Structure 1
Amino acid sequence: MAHLLGAEALHLEVPTKVVFDSVTLGVAEGDRIGIVGRNGDGKSSLLMMLAGRREPDGGQVTKRSGTTIGVLDQADAFDADETVGHAIVGDRPEYEWAGEARTRNVIDGLVGDLGWDARLDALSGGQRRRVALARLLVGDHEMLFLDEPTNHLDVEGIAWLAEHLKRRWPAGQGALLVVTHDRWFLDEVCTTTWEVHDRIVEPFEGGYAAYILQRVERDRQAAAIEQKRQNLARKELAWLRRGAPARTSKPKFRIDAANALIADVPEIRDRVSLQSMAVQRLGKEVVNLEEAGVAYDGRTILEDVEWRLAPGERTGILGVNGAGKSTLLGLISGDVEPTSGTVKRGKTVKVATLTQRLDELEEHLNEPVRTVIGRLRTSFTVGSGSKAQELTPGQMLERMGFTSAQLSTPVKDLSGGQKRRLQLLLILLDQPNVLILDEPTNDLDTDMLAAMEDLLDSWPGTLIVVSHDRYFLERVTDQQYAILDRHLRHLPGGVDEYLRLRAAQEAASADPSRRSSERSESKSSEPGFDSASPRRAGGAAAPALSGAERRAAEKELASVERKMERLQADIVRSRDGLAELDQSDYALLNAEMAKITAVEDEVAELEERWLELSTLLE
């Protein structure tokens, strides 16, 4: 692959520390590189030095003559009177840019719902971010440098961007460098990961999952280094290997060694113990929404919502901006009263909400962190049963990444990510039994996200999460729902099903003549569910099956289960066989992994059918 850009002996200092010391890197055509690391370790600085926007204190960056670089900064700078259309295509005549397939695709994918002549100063932060992305992506750049491109994007926007970047260049052409905390996006787009830490940049093959796999092996070989960080990585690795094995297919080192590392790692959550503790704390009734609806000024936001929250339930909520997610959370917390139907709460329910704002910290801005935490509780229990631990406030802060020196730091001097972590701890120390998280991942790096997930794994209560971070949502919740057309709908197929439903919804909106047929297809793909009755477990009646239909469904279900078991056994044997192959024969390894991936895709399809049949027979 042709060399595009190189950096030699980069050195960078800021007033308080050395950020990089003699870093040498190269970028070739076809590279898709994700940059990860803790906040403050220099990820954005590295990107800007490579892009030529920041001069290093030592060393140099060179690029191939004629190579063009497009850069997306974290801040979107526009003129005050700029319009959407002019910001994206400038003064180019319409006949010119409208004839370009890429430009049309970018405009449709990112800003199709915005007015072409709308002023940017009247748009929200998320809408301005989409305009900035569109302006960059309509250009013809050989290299793209993206700094937190998924900030303010919803799940659909992130999925669109990932698909665009995968298809933007032919294989082996172009280059992408991206700084992001979105771990799903890293796995979906990147084939190489650079970890920025301790003044160096360490390369790993593969996306986020493969990076975690290799990092654990690195930490195992140097077990005395960063012990707490290693434990978090091992736990996350166990989830990745058990929950999404296809993601870890890229590294070339011995997979059996990695499996040995997690042989003694338990399931990420002890669901039986957590459920038992949740029932003890909450009773059997938590929050019941019965035909609940909300309307403002003649506009219906939600209608006919049937949902019975169970003790210990962990649910993710999806929906486009403005769909009614915040209204639904308000119904659960009591901040919003239904205009139709009822909302009933158990007598022992204590709801707490981690909002996108930092209101909980306003009154403590001038106080040291240690004082703020110590005032609430002297101890905090994590885990359950024999695994329960009593932690002091200081130990809780340490678990969430605070150093001993930071305990004396006034709250106002903390970074955005530190304030976010402190906000969560203040809420947890108040001992709620229903916890609502509204976009909790803002300002957190990947290690701190893992720390938050680890803490939530041992929290015994009902958890409701709204997040555009797909990895976090799937990691901490056991099921997902979506708000579609003002109704709450269960998603047995998770985020993938939501994206399919939204795509069908968009297609129907674009072509009204197809709306009824696509709505019919959408419903028939999920037996037993419809938009007005999203959750049968909550009391909605399932459609009656005739005796012959039930027997046929039971027969197919048994057949699907047998086939899944057989294919899973084949996958295990194939993966075990990889260890016996010549590890230097990359072509053979890639061919074998392609076979395994194909079988895993078949298993995934069978799992979806199994869910449909199980739901039908409930």
Structure 2
Amino acid sequence: MATVNQVNLENVSVSHGTRTLLDQVSLGLGEAERIGVVGLNGAGKSTLLRVLTKAEEPNSGRVTHRGGLRLGHLTQSVIFPDKALVHDVVIGSAWLPDAFGAEHEWAGDARIRTVLDGLGLHTIGLDAPVRSLSGGERRRVALAALLVRDTDLLVLDEPTNHLDVEGVAWLADYLVGRRGGLLVVTHDRWFLDAVCTRTWEVTDGRVEQYEGGYAAWVLARAERTRQAQATEERRQNLMRKELAWLRRGAPARTSKPKFRIEAANALIADVPDPRDTVQLKRLAGTRIGKQVYDVEDATLRFGERTILDRVTWRIGPGDRFALVGVNGAGKTTLLRLLAGAGQPDSGEVKVGKTVKAAYLSQEVAELSPTLRVLEAVEEVARRLTVGDRDLTASQLAEMFGFSSARQWTPVGDLSGGERRRLQLLRLLMAGPNVLLLDEPTNDLDIDTLQALEDLLDSWPGTLIVVSHDRYLVERVTDQVWALLGDGALRMMSGGIEEYLERRAVFTSGGGRRVGTGATGTPGGGAAEPGAASVDPGTSSDEPGLSAADQRAAKKELSRLERQIAKLEEREKKLHGKLAEHATDFAKVAELDAELRGLQAEREAAEESWLQLSEHV
């Protein structure tokens, strides 16, 4: 027996001004489906959710709900009663109906306690006034209020925004185990894969449907692109033949050449503009000296919390670090310290003389709403030399997804994602050599995220990223550093997975200190077993290594680092040769064999470096 859809859309069309966001869309949502909604910023994802929940009427078509449908909707902006407390919103009736009654009734409900703990509301306090909370805390309160109630369908617009990595992992597990339907707009690709069984892509007024989460959607889209490219390649080959014929002689001698000219011109006119692949990889080309940031024996506090307790941390040229920790651990405060927006309570932060840092905060910089996009870019720079090319601000804006027409749009009319893109563009236009990025993925669509990763993946400067987006962290950074709340800064050699494991042990142990590994250690007291200062000049706490052994080990580390750098340089040259001889199959086979041998040699050197670095 077929299941009855909870929601149906029949020939729904929605236009905002001159833009058609949904064009004759028909679809249904089953009672146990978990669907992720993806698409470019401004494509109409949030509009689809509002129409589906009947928060917005379509221009035409019909939206029907199953009788008695209990629906919960998390929007991007949440408004609570002015004098409400967190308690009133989450388990009272100040924001949603179905209050839970006396305290002993809801306190005895394990599901409610799980939600409160999972979203970290114990750190906010149930008696806190909602109006005193930050935007991220208000979002968590609203999400908790929806999750503790019995609903047949949850509709969530960007639920992972303002959640830390641990919070995102908890929410994914909770939603997978929850009964009922789910429709979620999110740009968190790990979350999409972990939670969703189907994907809707909003594009050009249509809603394309795919089975599976993010990975399945990427594969399906890649296959669609491959087929389009094959068709385009056949057309390009035909066009090249026609153009070659045109160059061979006078085309006006007979009626036949005239036909060939018209055919060639039609092919030329129909060729689409080449898709931009984001050519801003060399924007941050300013060279950095040997010193970037040296955090020396620093103590950093925020209110009553100690973020760093006499920590020494070295950040060098080309380092690519991700900074993780629970909400409130002090990630943003530490990033602001590096950006020069604060001072440590004790110790010091030494900044290299050639450092030119750019800091992307979580708040989108306020610009005059009447300022045009192009004018906002030209405020920073009108022209920029990228390699051997001199590019205008307009050309650079187009690389970041602002078409020629869109560049004359007032800033006040941009979507949140477009403003974030504009903020990133203005940041990079200044030509920094150090990037400090605080949640750079917030409000960016997946295509823009991929373009940003493509840029950051080969960006030549120093990069420090605070992000809950595991895809971005694993793609563009080399090391994960964690603030676990005990005043130390630890390197997670196992990345996000190791961080989550340590947090789980830490939480189950009642908040005790856990874990070992490389760390910016507090200067006072004994270091944890296996912990090592990131300052190469300090002595190791590892037992069994004499001073002579340490000097020899450090010398070997330096040798291995030089060897790895040389091998990487040789790899780059081989990749260039492979591209140069792409049509010579014998040469390609020879170069490929050489490249595989070189990669094996580099991996062996890196493994030796990793093993040795654990003892130094």
Using structure 2 for the length normalisation, give the TM-score.
Answer: 0.72
Look at both structures and tell me which one has the larger radius of gyration over its CA atoms.
2
Q: CA deviation at 1:315?
A: 0.9
- Give the count of matched residue pairs: 492
Match in the other structure for 1:221:
227
Q: What does 1:240-255 align with in structure 2 at a 5 Å threshold?
A: none
Distance in 2 (alpha carbons) for counterparts of 1:213 and 1:614: 40
> What per-residue deviation string (whole Å, max 9, x for no partner) do you get for residues 494-546 of structure 1?
22222222333333336xxxx3xxx3xx33xx456585476655325444465
Match in the other structure for 1:112:
122
Checking the alignment, whether the CA contact within 8 Å between 2:38 and 2:446 is kept in structure 1 is yes
Q: What does 1:229-240 align with in structure 2 at a 5 Å threshold?
A: none
Match of residue 285, structure 1, among 285, 291, 296:
291
Distance in 1 (alpha carbons) for counterparts of 2:452 and 2:109: 44
Indicate how the Cα distance of structure 1 residues 304 and 381 shifts in structure 2: closer, same or farther if over 3 A, else same. farther
Q: What does 1:573-588 align with in structure 2 at a 5 Å threshold?
A: none
Q: CA deviation at 1:365?
A: 5.2
Q: What does 1:113-152 align with in structure 2 at a 5 Å threshold?
A: 113-152=123-162
Indicate how the Cα distance of structure 1 residues 137 and 322 shifts in structure 2: closer, same or farther if over 3 A, else same. closer
Q: CA deviation at 1:39?
A: 1.9
> What per-residue deviation string (whole Å, max 9, x for no partner) do you get for residues 298-327 of structure 1?
864422222111211111111233322233
Distance in 2 (alpha carbons) for counterparts of 1:528 and 1:146: 39
Distance in 2 (alpha carbons) for counterparts of 1:156 and 1:163: 11
Match of residue 535, structure 2, among 538, 548, 557:
538
> What per-residue deviation string (whole Å, max 9, x for no partner) do you get for residues 101-149 of structure 1?
3222112222232322322222222222122111111112222111111
Match in the other structure for 1:176:
182
Distance in 2 (alpha carbons) for counterparts of 1:127 and 1:537: 34
Q: CA deviation at 1:410?
A: 3.6
Checking the alignment, whether the CA contact within 8 Å between 1:489 and 1:535 is kept in structure 2 is no
Indicate how the Cα distance of structure 1 residues 94 and 18 shifts in structure 2: closer, same or farther if over 3 A, else same. same
Checking the alignment, whether the CA contact within 8 Å between 1:400 and 1:452 is kept in structure 2 is no
Task: Indicate whether 1:351 and 2:360 are aligned.
Answer: no
Q: What does 1:358-437 align with in structure 2 at a 5 Å threshold?
A: 358-359=364-365, 362=367, 366-374=370-378, 376-377=380-381, 379-380=383-384, 391-437=391-437
SS at match of 2:435: strand
Q: CA deviation at 1:96?
A: 3.0
Q: For structure 1, which segment, 140-149 or 470-479, has the greater mean C-alpha deviation from structure 2 after superposition?
A: 470-479
Indicate how the Cα distance of structure 1 residues 81 and 219 shifts in structure 2: closer, same or farther if over 3 A, else same. same
Match in the other structure for 1:157:
167
Checking the alignment, whether the CA contact within 8 Å between 1:487 and 1:531 is kept in structure 2 is yes
> What per-residue deviation string (whole Å, max 9, x for no partner) do you get for residues 242-298 of structure 1?
xxxxxxxxxxxxxxxxxxxxxxxxxx99xxx99xx97x8112222111222234778
Q: Which runs of 5+ in 1 are unaligned?
A: 228-267, 551-608
SS at match of 2:25: strand
Residue 341 of structure 2 aligns with an amino acid whose one-letter code is: D
SS at match of 1:112: helix
Distance in 2 (alpha carbons) for counterparts of 1:422 and 1:460: 21
Q: CA deviation at 1:177?
A: 0.6
Match in the other structure for 1:448:
448
SS at match of 1:463: strand
Distance in 2 (alpha carbons) for counterparts of 1:226 and 1:294: 58
Indicate how the Cα distance of structure 1 residues 301 and 48 shifts in structure 2: closer, same or farther if over 3 A, else same. same
> What per-residue deviation string (whole Å, max 9, x for no partner) do you get for residues 152-171 of structure 1?
222222221111101112xx
Indicate how the Cα distance of structure 1 residues 215 and 391 shifts in structure 2: closer, same or farther if over 3 A, else same. farther
Q: Which runs of 5+ in 2 are unaligned?
A: 93-98, 234-277, 550-606
SS at match of 2:38: strand
Distance in 1 (alpha carbons) for counterparts of 2:519 and 2:328: 24
Distance in 1 (alpha carbons) for counterparts of 2:507 and 2:232: 48
Match in the other structure for 1:490:
491
Q: CA deviation at 1:611?
A: 11
Match of residue 209, structure 1, among 212, 215, 220:
215
SS at match of 1:282: coil
- Counting aligned pairs with the same residue, the percent is 49
Residue 100 of structure 1 aligns with an amino acid whose one-letter code is: D
Checking the alignment, whether the CA contact within 8 Å between 1:527 and 1:612 is kept in structure 2 is no
Checking the alignment, whether the CA contact within 8 Å between 1:158 and 1:185 is kept in structure 2 is yes
Structure with more of its chain in helix, by fraction: 1
Distance in 1 (alpha carbons) for counterparts of 2:14 and 2:83: 37
Indicate how the Cα distance of structure 1 residues 225 and 137 shifts in structure 2: closer, same or farther if over 3 A, else same. farther
SS at match of 2:229: coil
> What per-residue deviation string (whole Å, max 9, x for no partner) do you get for residues 40-96 of structure 1?
221122122222333323222334444432222222232222222222222412343
Distance in 2 (alpha carbons) for counterparts of 1:402 and 1:49: 27
SS at match of 2:41: coil
Distance in 2 (alpha carbons) for counterparts of 1:143 and 1:217: 32
Q: What does 1:577-616 align with in structure 2 at a 5 Å threshold?
A: 615-616=613-614
Distance in 1 (alpha carbons) for counterparts of 2:330 and 2:170: 22
Checking the alignment, whether the CA contact within 8 Å between 1:194 and 1:202 is kept in structure 2 is yes
Checking the alignment, whether the CA contact within 8 Å between 1:307 and 1:535 is kept in structure 2 is no
Distance in 1 (alpha carbons) for counterparts of 2:487 and 2:322: 17
Indicate how the Cα distance of structure 1 residues 19 and 399 shifts in structure 2: closer, same or farther if over 3 A, else same. same
Distance in 1 (alpha carbons) for counterparts of 2:533 and 2:70: 55
Indicate how the Cα distance of structure 1 residues 13 and 351 shifts in structure 2: closer, same or farther if over 3 A, else same. closer
Checking the alignment, whether the CA contact within 8 Å between 2:42 and 2:415 is kept in structure 1 is no
> What per-residue deviation string (whole Å, max 9, x for no partner) do you get for residues 424-447 of structure 1?
222222211111112222322222
Task: Indicate whether 1:98 and 2:107 are aligned.
Answer: yes
Checking the alignment, whether the CA contact within 8 Å between 1:324 and 1:486 is kept in structure 2 is no
Indicate how the Cα distance of structure 1 residues 49 and 297 shifts in structure 2: closer, same or farther if over 3 A, else same. closer
Checking the alignment, whether the CA contact within 8 Å between 1:292 and 1:342 is kept in structure 2 is yes
Indicate how the Cα distance of structure 1 residues 106 and 544 shifts in structure 2: closer, same or farther if over 3 A, else same. closer
